[in-house]
Structure 1
Amino acid sequence: MTKIWTNSGDSHFLEPEDVWSSRLPKALADLTPKSQKDPDGEYETVTVDGQTFRRKLPSSAAAQFVDDGHKPKGVRDARARLGDLDKEGVWGEVIFPSLGMWASTFRTPELLKACMRASNEYALEELVPVSERYVVTGQVSTLRVEDALSEIEWLAEHDFKAVFLPTTPHPSAPDWHRDDWEPFWALCEEAKILPAFHIGTDPVDITAGGAGVVYRGPGGAVMNYTETTFSGQRAAMKLVGSGALDRHPNLNILISEGGATWIPFLGDRLLEGYRQHHQAVRPKLSRDPKEILMSQVYASFQHDETAVAAHDAMGYRNVMFGSDYPHMEGTFGHTQKTLETLFAGASDETTLRITQGAFYELFPHVPPVPDSTDVIQG
């Protein structure tokens, strides 16, 4: 068998637990997230920024998705990670934070601003230098727009190529479609920093059931997992409908892990609304909203059988594969089998576009992938 090399628009790295507390003054460090596991290991008590809640810990079910003897070694080790990627046939990858997913639970602006800078300094020191294959996302506070602006300037000065954004800003800040964020989008466009939205990052009341819990009862697990995808669709809709992407035609965005087939449908709906309710629409756009969505919004998927069809049958070219390393929803341990299934019967052009082409449009600085005829190792 020959290896199908791919780039990935979605992966995660687990930072050291003290990446914030070790770099912050004690008064702020004491407010950073801390957890205490129950003796039986089923639940933990978490404190963050003066709030306390209990949550059930993830099960070991992830093991069933990983081939025997093939465990991720690069979750915390950026150098060992390269070996994992080579075995899977993943070349370049967008790397999202793990601790940064806590950002929406903070309430103190000074704390979140300091934590985001600590994370960015850590990434610059420990992740970015390891390999040109890594597109490490910077982080900004969304508690205050002015803090996000100052941090995106810092990221630009240090040559970051992407910034992780939650699908909805902090509840105390304006939403993405508000004009308050216009200077932020302008800076991203000027600095060529890609806003990368990761699904499942809507702010939640962590004291009222925990992150990601929307539904309870029959079907709750599947419905809660499915629910996470909608926030990415809303983020794309806001940037199109508000005119942010229209005003910044050289600004692209990435919606990671949320699938891709929804883009053509959402484009149809936006276009219908814009056309049928044109008298009430503000602002007016220079292009139709479907064109803006289809050309400036990129979307990554991992297992979706319909994603390839979105490219071939619905004309959506900005489809990008994402491995979601090392999460249980991802393809680690079976990436090659997944790719073989997804692209069985697909043309070489389609396969190349989804595995490499769309990625390189966003990140042309990443070195080219190895020759596709390389034989799969062991």
Structure 2
Amino acid sequence: MQKIWTNSGDSHFLEPDDLWTTRLPKALADLTPKSEKDPDGEYETVSVDGQTFRRKLPTSAAVEFLAETRKAVGIRDAKARLIDLDEEGVWGEVIFPSLGMWSSTFRTPELLKACMRASNEWALEELVPVSERYVVTAQVSTLLVEDAISEIEWAAENGFKAVFLPTTPHPSAPDWHDPAWEPFWDAAERARMVLAVHIGTDPVDVTSGGAGVVYRGPGGAVMNYAETTFSGQRFAMKLVASGALDRHPDLRVLISEGGATWIPFLGDRMLEGYRQHSMVVRPKLKRDPKETLMTQVYASFQHDETAVAAHDAMGYKNVMFGSDYPHMEGTFGHTQDTLKQLFDGASDATRLRITQGAFFELFPHVPAVPSSGV
């Protein structure tokens, strides 16, 4: 079959390990994330901003898989990355940070603000100029609203089109549905900045025994993986129910790597709650919550067999494919096989909407896929 070209609403880049330590004053650099492996190689101790926790290292099978994944030449090389994208049939892509995934775990405002600016400046130097196909996400401090506003305004002035936000801020900061964030939503809407939210970015609970560990025992690995998706759904729910998206109809949200079928279900559930419990619902909304969720929130998936049905049968048109390059959960090495399976029997209109249309709606500045491919 002819190659199916797609855009991706989810990918990652590995910044230099010393990005923050070389760009920050020593007093702040000493607080950035560091890890020390146990002699037996089974666990590591991670310290970040004065907090310490332990986590289990990958099994030998996972290590072997990761070794294969690292053959992705563009994982650390922005120019070579285009080789991988062309091979996989991926045109434009949203690029999330790797170091920045720690942002919701920081608790010192000065440190987080400095790290986010260092990451943004580095991205402007090393990633953004390489290709118009890259939608590099800016990063902002979420500990203080005023810091987030100043950084998103700086990012917009410097050409960023999307801003990465963790699914949940640090517990010391107001949560996303808090009115304190209203000036930030104002700033994001004025800048026409897409709010790009990646699942699995809740603050690390240092008492739980490691990052991403909620369940132990039988089924723990699968349950912990599934658990990471729910915080993205909560982010969308908070912005809809609090009226943030209702007040800012031009604001767009992308929930990456969390699947797509949950959007219609959550919309139904919120609409029912809004209608059946209207006597206690605050604030009152101009539009029903399902309409807002279905039109202002975009959702990326990689393997979900139900995603096409969400578009065709459930009327959710903001479904977007994401390759999750080059993560273990992604499609690197088999993107074309995945796409051909997903769209077997689907109409051309459906395929083009999910692989290209929704992406270009959010990021119209990205050049179109050449009609002849690459």
1:153 aligns with 2:158: no
SS class of match (1:330): coil
Is this contact kept in 2: 1:246–1:286, CA < 8 A? yes
State how 1:26-175 maps to structure 2 within 5 Å. 26-59=26-59, 61=61, 71-175=71-175
**CA 1:66 to 1:7, structure 2 compared with 1: closer, same or farther past 3 Å?**
farther
Aligned residue number for residue 313 of structure 2: 313
**Structure 1 residue 207: deviation in Å?**
4.6
Is this contact kept in 1: 2:257–2:300, CA < 8 A? yes
Q: Which amino acid aligns with 1:242?
A: S
The separation in 1 between residues aligned to 2:97 and 2:366, in whole angstroms, is 19
SS class of match (1:305): coil
1:336 aligns with 2:331: no
- Structure 2 unaligned residues grouped into runs of 5+: none
Is this contact kept in 2: 1:2–1:374, CA < 8 A? no
**CA 1:91 to 1:61, structure 2 compared with 1: closer, same or farther past 3 Å?**
farther
Q: Which amino acid aligns with 1:347?
A: S
**Structure 1 residue 60: deviation in Å?**
5.2
Is this contact kept in 1: 2:69–2:328, CA < 8 A? no
SS class of match (1:279): coil
Is this contact kept in 2: 1:51–1:207, CA < 8 A? no
Q: Which amino acid aligns with 2:342?
A: L
**CA 1:268 to 1:69, structure 2 compared with 1: closer, same or farther past 3 Å?**
closer
Aligned residue number for residue 214 of structure 1: 214
**CA 1:251 to 1:69, structure 2 compared with 1: closer, same or farther past 3 Å?**
closer
Is this contact kept in 2: 1:65–1:333, CA < 8 A? no
Aligned residue number for residue 367 of structure 1: 367
Q: Which amino acid aligns with 1:301?
A: F
**Structure 1 residue 140: deviation in Å?**
0.7
Q: What per-residue deviation string (whole Å, max 9, x for no partner) do you get for residues 317-355 of structure 1?
A: 000000000000000000000000000000000000000
State how 1:160-309 maps to structure 2 within 5 Å. 160-309=160-309
Aligned residue number for residue 20 of structure 2: 20
When the two structures are aligned, how many residues end up with a matched partner?
374
Q: Which amino acid aligns with 1:117?
A: R
Say which is worse superposed, 348-357 or 196-205, in terms of deviation: 196-205
**CA 1:328 to 1:60, structure 2 compared with 1: closer, same or farther past 3 Å?**
farther
The separation in 2 between residues aligned to 1:177 and 1:86, in whole angstroms, is 40
SS class of match (1:206): coil
**CA 1:62 to 1:129, structure 2 compared with 1: closer, same or farther past 3 Å?**
farther
The separation in 2 between residues aligned to 1:62 and 1:362, in whole angstroms, is 35
The alignment yields a C-alpha RMSD, in angstroms, of 1.7
Q: Which amino acid aligns with 1:145?
A: V
The separation in 1 between residues aligned to 2:178 and 2:101, in whole angstroms, is 23
- Structure 1 unaligned residues grouped into runs of 5+: none
Q: Which amino acid aligns with 1:256?
A: S
The separation in 1 between residues aligned to 2:60 and 2:90, in whole angstroms, is 25
- TM-score normalised by the chain length of structure 1: 0.95
Q: What per-residue deviation string (whole Å, max 9, x for no partner) do you get for residues 51-74 of structure 1?
A: 222222234545787998992111
**Structure 1 residue 224: deviation in Å?**
0.2
The separation in 2 between residues aligned to 1:203 and 1:40, in whole angstroms, is 28
SS class of match (1:278): coil
Q: Which amino acid aligns with 2:22?
A: S
